[in-house]
Chains A and B, each alone.
Chain A
Amino acid sequence: MRREALTGNQAVAMAVMYSDVKFVAAYPITPQTSIVEKISYFVEKGLMKAKFVNVESEHSALAMTYGAALGGVRSFTATSSHGLLYMHEWVHWASRSRVPLVMAVVTRTIGPPWNIWPDHSDYMDQRDAGWIMLFAMDAQEAFDMTVQAFRISEDERVFLPVMVGLEGFIVGGTTMSVALPDEESVKEWVGERRQPFVFDGSANITLGNLASPEDTYILHRNIHEDLLRSIEVIKEIEKDYSETFGLPYIGPVETVGEKESSYAVISMGAWSGDLAEAIKQLGRNDVSLYRIRVYRPFPCKELRQALSRKNGIVVFDRSISFGSFGPLYMDVKACLDSEYTNVVNVIGGLGGVDHSLGEYVSVLRKILGEMDREEKLEKQIWMEVSR
């Protein structure tokens, strides 16, 4: 396999080209811009046979991507932060219409104050919309997940849009060596465009007219149930991808460390690398890291298996539901049986704050020490920040 030095954003753009995407509509926002710049370059250079449209807003970006997807072609868009919030109405409309399409979300915090650095606030704000939500931790995953996203979205057992998250700058803008399968075999692997219905004048159908409360209930429940079932499809497709291209299969939750450890640290995204390193530095082999790669559907079954018989669990969240807890923590808690009382939520990294390795080590040492000594635990702990 060929290797190329790519940033996360470039890896996404390559994956879009390799996946035989025919239509892209997008609007620029830092830190997503280099994805759309790269794709427009591919298109104008004739390297990618697709239409690229510069729309006037993110609201229209997803609207037009949706229109093209309904019209029968594989479609993609990408955004960040305020752009994602601006299109939020459309995030719901796309999934509730059961239209396969893919969007990359290069995460960035939300203002005010204006701040372009990454956390997970924008991404987490979409969690209830009915999309499949993947989250990469480096450029390689950004490539692999984007390619897989098209297959997942267009699988007839799913037919839902897929969001691929990657953090701005630390993943989107950081270069690493990415293993790239060859373009033609990726195209072949993704295959022909598949979708539940098409608007091209050939079928006389109506989408989205009024429905009774009961019909709406059933349609929405179907989304939920298909989304829950899709976890098996996501695994199957990742397995097929890794077998086809000779890459390791990781699964919805990656385990770093001993499976049988007493303590679990749970996280998502690039700072999982810092946490793995911090656990190493702690010098304890009874702590393992579990990294969430598929956030929706939430991999409950996989986590429950992984977390069975743990004495304590620490969930790191890079966003906060103001007035409550971090979203990842709430999901983990909801999955666990009631006997799990030793579950602590650490909030950090908001606004792009980069905590040092030493800070991760000391917060983990404190919490794990309290767990060891069976002391009463604070449920929520914020990483300290000095200005």
Chain B
Amino acid sequence: MSFKGVLPGDSSCPGCLLPVALNLVVSSIGKKVVSVVPASCTSVIQGYYPKTAFDFPTINVPFASAAPVAAGVSYALEIRGIKDVVVFAWAGDGGTADIGMAALSGAAERNDNILYIMYDNEAYMNTGIQRSGATPYKAWTTTTPVIGKREAKKDVAKIMIAHGAKYVATASVGFHQDFIAKIRKASSISGFRFIQLHLPCPVGWRFDSEKTVEVAKLAVETGAWILYEYQDGKLRLTGPSAQLIEESRRKPLEEYLLLQGRFSHLTKEDIEQIKKLIKEQWEWIKKMI
């Protein structure tokens, strides 16, 4: 049985690349799939029962539970000797970095045989743009409405590396080939695999809906979002990030920040602080490679 992916007519917002990204996952895995989706924008964009825009098996689950449900399905398939199916969780940053963290950690620690994709739009978008642990420093959200987020972005990929996960990668919806290669690689391995996909959200980040690809690309090109993969104890930069170790090769950070309304209140000091956080991230990368 082959699955078509997300059909035309899903109910995502204009300019949302979530369905595009999910389509890439379903089509790149190269095997049959079972997907597990916790409460998030993705629960909504499927549309109304008894119809669905998702042409692939999909289990909707409570917010904190993507990893254990996916693992349960995967164990059942193993018990039944079914080998040609990839079970993947498709969860938001909130469902991953915050409420689902203990469950995710358990799955990683046990090396449960699942592919976990965290699509990171850097806030609780489904409930109307509230702050998550993965919201970046100073970003405006409806629960950080005046000052912006006071803390740095929680780095889930790093946390997964610390768990000794089989495969950990970051990706961006602005760089399809890189993302596809990572999906393919992750699908060819068994055990716990984690991909954090940067997915700009025009509604929540306050930019024009035709600029989603541009914003996604700028995040990488300015070095604010770094593409890498980690396997067998080795970290490797991928895609455009591979050329960006030298700071001088990166585009100015302001190009990325100033496109987004969520950063429109930033002071010079705020921007300096954000640059410092990005620098620290690159320093960590340099140590890892």
CB within 8 Å of B: which residues of A? 22-23, 25, 50-51, 53-57, 59-61, 63-73, 75, 89-90, 93, 199-212, 215
A176 to B105, CA, bound (A): 41
A53 to B106, CA, bound (A): 11
Smallest CB–CB gap between B23 and chain A, Å?
A: 15
Q: Is B50 part of the binding interface, using a Cβ–Cβ cutoff of 8 Å?
A: yes
Q: Are A215 and B60 in contact (CB under 8 A)?
A: no
Q: Are B47 and A89 in contact (CB under 8 A)?
A: no
Point out the residues of chain A lying under 8 angstroms from B55, CB to CB: 204
A75 to B60, CA, bound (A): 19
CB within 8 A of A202: which of B1, B43, B44, B61? B1
Q: Are A206 and B106 in contact (CB under 8 A)?
A: no
A68 to B77, CA, bound (A): 8
- Per-residue CB contact flags for chain B residues 1-24 toward chain A (1 = under 8 Å, else 0) read 101000000000000000000000
Point out the residues of chain A lying under 8 angstroms from B79, CB to CB: 22-23, 50-51, 68, 73
CB-CB nearest in chain A for B11: A210
CB-CB nearest in chain B for A71: B76
Point out the residues of chain B lying under 8 angstroms from A75, CB to CB: 72, 76
- Per-residue CB contact flags for chain B residues 23-44 toward chain A (1 = under 8 Å, else 0) read 0000000011110100000011
Q: Are A206 and B46 in contact (CB under 8 A)?
A: yes
CB within 8 Å for A64 and B71 given contacts A57-B102, A201-B1, A210-B44: yes
Q: How many A-B residue pairs have CB under 8 A?
A: 163
CB within 8 A of A56: which of B36, B56, B102? B102
CB within 8 Å of A: which residues of B? 1, 3, 31-34, 36, 43-44, 46-50, 52, 54-62, 64-65, 67-80, 82, 84-85, 102-103, 105-106, 109-110
CB within 8 Å for A203 and B57 given contacts A23-B75, A65-B72, A70-B72: yes
Q: Are A71 and B46 in contact (CB under 8 A)?
A: no
Smallest CB–CB gap between A113 and chain B, Å?
A: 26
A101 to B72, CA, bound (A): 13
CB-CB nearest in chain B for A219: B49
CB-CB nearest in chain A for B31: A201
A75 to B58, CA, bound (A): 20
Smallest CB–CB gap between A252 and chain B, Å?
A: 31
Q: Are B82 and A23 in contact (CB under 8 A)?
A: no
Q: Are A93 and B61 in contact (CB under 8 A)?
A: yes
Additional pairs, 18, CB under 8 Å, beyond known A71-B72, A71-B75: A22-B79, A23-B75, A51-B75, A55-B106, A56-B102, A59-B103, A60-B68, A60-B102, A63-B103, A67-B68, A67-B72, A67-B73, A71-B34, A72-B76, A199-B73, A200-B77, A201-B77, A201-B85
